[in-house]
A and B are shown apart, each in its own frame.
Chain A
Amino acid sequence: MRTKLYMYTAYERIWHWLQAAIMVALIVTGFEIHAPDSFRLSGFEAAVATHKTLGFLLMANAFLGMLYHLFSGEIRQYFSSSMDFLPLAIRQATYYLYGIFRGSPHPFVKRPDRKHNPLQRSVYVIILNVLLPLQVVTGLLLWGAQRWPDAVGALGGLANIAAVHTAGAWAFTAFLIMHVYLITTGPTPLSNLRAMITGWEEHEIDRGTVRKAGSTWTPGIMDVGSGRRVTADEAGKGLST
């Protein structure tokens, strides 16, 4: 039975798109600050002011996101106690390198309680727990160099801090490119994107999903054919044994 699962809540989507917009704007203004001779959009002074403001917005959004993930339990999405992480990650990598070209089914079935495949999970953990804090801290130090000269000096001066911040910016840019590309690897090239806009993602539902849906979810399954929401039982009836 072709169904849609309610994958992303409104807050998650707003958070994601806000974060994405800020990050893109930070990369653009950051590049103007970094190489004003090569790229001019708003001028150096405006770029600095915008970058600074966006940096604080990003921090605020990241902080709210952290609270949400902590209190909603969504943080579990990123940490799995499963012992089969490595085999699953290998399967996922094999899929990207080989299976995807042959039209093999996606080895990982997304569910609202398990949105990220093992590779995604690893990358997001690194992005959100290492790279983002690093950018925030180095950005704060660049912004506050005149307030905390001793701290800046202790870390090797602006040059070293800026080097780390620049490296982080390049890493984020690379991540962004890969992220945008990988969202096309869903059931259809646009299904992941659509899901992040509407919250609903089209799925060929399986028994496991239905079992999980029946036990934990408020109705979050939609019959693609009729366009109406169905219960887990109804969804399960459509499945072959």
Chain B
Amino acid sequence: MLRAIVTACLILAPVAAAQTPDRDTAPTIVHPKFRLLDREGQPVLSSRGPVSGMRSCGACHDTGFIADHNYHASVGADETAEPGSAPGWRPWDLSPGLYGRWAPLLYRYLTPDGDELMDMGTADWVSAFGYLHVGGGPAVRSPAGTPLTNLDPDLPDRDTMFLNEDTGLSASWDWSSSGVVELNCFLCHISSPDNEARIDALRSGAFEWASTATLARSGLVAREGSKWRWIDNAFKEDGTPESDRIRIVPPSSLHCGQCHGLVHFEEEPVIPRYGSDRVWSTETMGGIFSPQLPSRSGMNLAGKSELNSPWDVHAERLLECSDCHFAPNDPSAAAKISASGELVSFDGRRLSIDEFLTTPDHNFAKGRSAQGRVADHLDGTMRRCEDCHSTRSSHEWLPYKGRHMDRLLCEACHVPVVRAPARRATDWTVLNPEGGPRVEYRGVRGDVDDPAALVDGFRPVLLPRRRPLDGGSERLAPHNLISIWFWIHGDPPRPVRLFDLRRAFLEGGGYHPDILRALDADSDGRLDGPELKLDTPEKVDAVRKRLESLGLKDLRIEAVIRPFSLHHGITAGKWAVRECSWCHSRRFGMTQPFLLASAHSSGEIPKPVRDTNAIVSGEVRIGEGGVYYWPVTMEEGFYVLGHDRWSPIDLAGIIIVSAAFAGALVHGGIRVFLSRSRRSGS
């Protein structure tokens, strides 16, 4: 049966591929009818329970294999270790992934077992960060492999406890009531997943309904309170959905964009929304994956009418994320990942298409970004520029081609500027009235939410990327740097919980009187922009006292710089860097100071995070208008002619040449003078 289906797919696939991709009617693949089953394998129409993708899709696909070979599901849960035990980890980091690795921008942390104060248990994590997680992994099983629903609720650990936001104390979570979040196949494989409904279900704690909520747009289910009701007449008699209720499509960039950032293929002008972690790569890197021209966007871009290069040239050329981040056992993908050693550049042994459709490896090929550390063993498996482009022959014009390509990532010249704003600084030492941090953006003059604010973009900073373990050299890549300030307390150190911060700052719908007294310079009862920062020791002390009054001890402010390497927003042709002086000069050069923040808390100078492959070895200095990062590339082995100089040698050279010149002048002058004296004397 499966072979027959696969054969039909193979026959019809070229027809679909030849069509002009239409985002409203995404490429169609032939997929057999299927019944929606619940976790017990019963049709949802009869059980009325939440749908299980693992069961429904598992009728044909090996969903167990898919869930087990899936770092989007495990997000580091399979790499957990003792807190802070791996190089570069913070003392409260439990893994290298979203589950366990502290993301200071998201702030809340998965609390190590045994901590007196709990910030997040696994249930909190699912509720708070589940919007970035496809389900499965830690949302189904503990890192030890025990199903969450089988855990003994009397054993207090992060999998069984959650933070009671009324009391600030941990309490036992009832997994049997919330259910778990199974791997959500529908999120990436149907044409119109309802991600908002899914997130609502997660945030409300109705975890097992998350997959069902994803089908909300299909008309198969309707919301009833916190639960969902299956609509009988949307199903056929055999229990399968009416035709076209669920259309299975190949995963597209739009699917990835649900969690990763703004992907825009519509006619409407691009208008990114900021201040939300929902558009993560847009927020952190200004990334917009769209074929649209910036000149047609809805943003007030500087020089807008001339910006006629698409937001991302790969989007314009109709590439999808999966073209580069492919399933490693996809027989239609060049099996770069399956090359077995240096003697083989291509492994011809590939799965048949039906084998692949049964067991598609969801450990997608990935790169080596500065920010992502999960599944490091897959680093560098993705399709890089040189795997598709004839970089050597297309850069004949480039002097010292080998040298440039050996020391620069393609992105260094092909992401010369980021046209959209991106996060510059996040200050968790203070809270805004909504209970969030003070945030700064780069690339925009004014408020990022103000449509009239001029968006002038920014030039990323070039940082060396650490040499990969499998060879190669350190290469310069464009980065955005985000500085984050936050409070730490106790020993072993932990971030001050968001719960405690909010208690310290906010009271009765406004700021706490002690906070207002210290920070409200104009006594208007509000903390407006410039007031919301701890720029004097007195303000720091006032907040510290508030936190101490909550029982927190040994409070101090820490600050970090987190680099985000830029690999999207690719531009080409005249929009890419061709001017030597872009790098080979000091005036325009690559080591221009990079503003980290316009304000800084308590004078604490941010230090680079250690869990990154970017080498952030420049200097951080307080200068006019804020804190700056001054890149230094020479000490990292990058000697850039016209840019890097040995100052002592130049100083000695100037002295020697000046001395020679002065010596000649003085010696010659005396000679002439004495010669004339002698002549006049004689």
Partner of B649, one of A33, A102, A145, A166: A166
- A175: B residues at CB distance < 8 A: 660
A 62-99 binary contact with B (CB < 8 Å = 1; else 0): 00000000000000000000000000000000001000
- B660: A residues at CB distance < 8 A: 173-175, 177-178
Q: Is A103 an interface residue when CB atoms closer than 8 A count as contact?
A: yes
Q: Is A159 an interface residue when CB atoms closer than 8 A count as contact?
A: yes
Q: Contact between A162 and B668 (Cβ–Cβ < 8 Å)?
A: no
Q: Contact between B642 and A44 (Cβ–Cβ < 8 Å)?
A: yes
- A130: B residues at CB distance < 8 A: none
Stretch touching chain B among A34-42, A53-61, A119-127, A207-215: A34-42
Partner of A45, one of B580, B586, B656: B580
Complex CA distance for A102 and B670, rounded to whole angstroms: 10
Q: Contact between B644 and A170 (Cβ–Cβ < 8 Å)?
A: no
Given A48-B399, A169-B653, A184-B668, is A158 in contact with B639 using a C-beta cutoff of 8 Å? Answer: yes
Nearest A residue to B658, CB-CB: A174
Partner of A174, one of B586, B634, B637, B656: B656
Q: Contact between A33 and B664 (Cβ–Cβ < 8 Å)?
A: no
Q: Contact between A45 and B653 (Cβ–Cβ < 8 Å)?
A: no
Q: Is A167 an interface residue when CB atoms closer than 8 A count as contact?
A: yes
Nearest B residue to A176, CB-CB: B660
CB within 8 Å of A: which of B615-662?
Answer: 634, 637, 639, 641-642, 644-646, 649-650, 652-654, 656-657, 659-661
- B581: A residues at CB distance < 8 A: 36, 44
Nearest A residue to B642, CB-CB: A36
Q: Is B678 an interface residue when CB atoms closer than 8 A count as contact?
A: yes
Q: Contact between B675 and A33 (Cβ–Cβ < 8 Å)?
A: no
Q: Contact between B653 and A170 (Cβ–Cβ < 8 Å)?
A: yes
Q: Is A181 an interface residue when CB atoms closer than 8 A count as contact?
A: yes
- B402: A residues at CB distance < 8 A: 146-147
Q: Is A199 an interface residue when CB atoms closer than 8 A count as contact?
A: no
Q: Is B667 an interface residue when CB atoms closer than 8 A count as contact?
A: yes
- A36: B residues at CB distance < 8 A: 581, 584-585, 642
Q: Contact between A166 and B664 (Cβ–Cβ < 8 Å)?
A: no
Interface residues on A, range: 35 or more
Q: Is A133 an interface residue when CB atoms closer than 8 A count as contact?
A: no
Partner of B641, one of A34, A171, A178: A34
Partner of A157, one of B586, B639, B652, B675: B639
- B668: A residues at CB distance < 8 A: 181, 184
B 656-682 binary contact with A (CB < 8 Å = 1; else 0): 110111011001101100110010000
Q: Is A21 an interface residue when CB atoms closer than 8 A count as contact?
A: no
Shortest CB–CB separation between residue B401 and chain A, in angstroms?
8
Q: Contact between B641 and A48 (Cβ–Cβ < 8 Å)?
A: yes
Q: Which of A158, A166, A169, A184 gathers most chain B CB within 10 Å?
A: A158
Nearest B residue to A46, CB-CB: B580
- A100: B residues at CB distance < 8 A: 671
Q: Is A239 an interface residue when CB atoms closer than 8 A count as contact?
A: no
A interface residues, Cβ below 8 angstroms from B: 33-37, 43-45, 48-49, 96, 100-103, 142, 145-147, 149, 157-159, 162-163, 166-167, 169-171, 173-175, 177-178, 180-181, 184
B interface residues, Cβ below 8 angstroms from A: 399-403, 406, 580-581, 584-587, 634, 637, 639, 641-642, 644-646, 649-650, 652-654, 656-657, 659-661, 663-664, 667-668, 670-671, 674-675, 678
A-B contact pairs, 7 of them (CB 8 A): A45-B399, A146-B401, A158-B637, A162-B639, A163-B649, A170-B649, A174-B656
Taking A35-B645, A145-B403 as given, write out 14 further A-B residue pairs in contact, using a Cβ cutoff of 8 Å, ordered by the A residue number.
A36-B584, A37-B585, A37-B586, A44-B584, A45-B399, A101-B674, A103-B675, A103-B678, A145-B400, A159-B639, A166-B645, A170-B650, A173-B653, A181-B664
Across the A-B interface, give the 6 residue pairs with the lowest CB-CB distance, nearest first: A170-B653, A181-B664, A146-B402, A158-B639, A146-B403, A159-B639
